[in-house]
Chains A and B, each alone.
Chain A
């Protein structure tokens, strides 16, 4: 099963995304990303 193409957005979905772009990432996502970066440094790359 190959990855599917990303569905095109409806008007409602596009409005949601457009509003999201104007704002900083939600605080929980920023915190998650900071932690993810720290954790990923510990994963050894072969």
Chain B
């Protein structure tokens, strides 16, 4: 098992860094290996990908963006009530680790970093949840970390999950 001290995090630089990256989902490999995806998102500041390295090797990556939970159709009278139409959140868009790091705790280390980052953001701007729109095969992984399901919409093939950062008073930890 790796410890957080053995991991370094940096901003995504170029798809060339990911030439040898292999993970369980080809879509996620494509995301970092094709110039029109992670790199374009970063350049346009629509989603920022962070790269986690162990020594010189890429162990995994996460992509973060601001997002909000919104209701489908809110009647006019409800728009004035609390809660507001949107619940500001940090979206964990992508998270993947290289297959050769399977079982070494990289996912947990990356998730800790994401939760701590959300906490830091929440100290500066409104941010109540970390949210992930999880495919069925990874729901248990997120649940194991501490995420909970929002009751599923049967019309969706994915599962919206949240990690609650809590009230502002409970955010009063030392900053990461």
Which one of A32, A41, A43 lies within 8 Å of B7 (CB-CB)?
A43
A6 to chain B, nearest CB (A): 5
A29 touching B146, Cβ below 8 Å: yes
Closest-by-CB residue of B relative to A19 is B83
Specify which chain B residues have a CB less than 8 angstroms from the CB of A32 in the assembled complex: 115, 145-146, 163
User: Once the chains bind, are A17 and B166 in contact (CB under 8 Å)?
Assistant: no
**B-contact bits for A5-30, CB 8 A (1 contact / 0 none):** 01111111110111011001110111
Chain A residues with a Cβ closer than 8 Å to the other chain, count: 38
Q: How far is the CB of B175 from chain A (nearest CB, A)?
A: 8
Complex contact B8–A33 (CB within 8 A)? no
Cα–Cα distance between A44 and B113 once the two chains are bound (Å): 11
Contacting pair A43 B9 (CB below 8 A) = yes
Q: Is B41 within 8 A of A25, CB to CB?
A: no
CB–CB B164/A16 < 8 A: no
Knowing A3-B63, A9-B71, A25-B165, the reply to whether A43 touches B8 (Cβ < 8 A) is yes
Q: Are B109 and A16 in contact (CB under 8 A)?
A: no
A42 B160 Cβ-Cβ under 8 A: no
CB pair B165–A33 under 8 Å, yes or no, is yes
Residues of B near A14 (CB, < 8 A) are 71, 74
- Which chain A residue has the least Cβ–Cβ distance from B67? A6
Asked if B176 and A25 make an inter-chain contact with CB atoms under 8 angstroms apart, the answer reads no
> In the complex, which residues of chain B have a beta carbon less than 8 angstroms from the beta carbon of A33?
115-116, 119, 163, 165-166, 173
A46 and B9 in contact (CB under 8 A), knowing A3-B94, A25-B167, A39-B4? yes
**Contact at B133–A9, with CB atoms within 8 Å?**
no
Pairwise interchain contact B153-A10, C-beta atoms closer than 8 A: yes
Q: Are B163 and A29 in contact (CB-based, < 8 A)?
A: yes
Task: State whether A40 touches B113 (Cβ < 8 A).
Answer: yes
* A1 and B31 contacting across the interface, CB-CB below 8 Å: yes
Q: Judging by beta carbons under 8 Å apart, are A45 and B91 in contact?
A: no
Whether B148 contacts A7 by the Cβ 8 Å rule is no
A-B contact pairs, 10 of them (CB 8 A): A1-B37, A7-B160, A8-B72, A9-B70, A13-B151, A17-B150, A20-B164, A29-B146, A42-B4, A46-B8
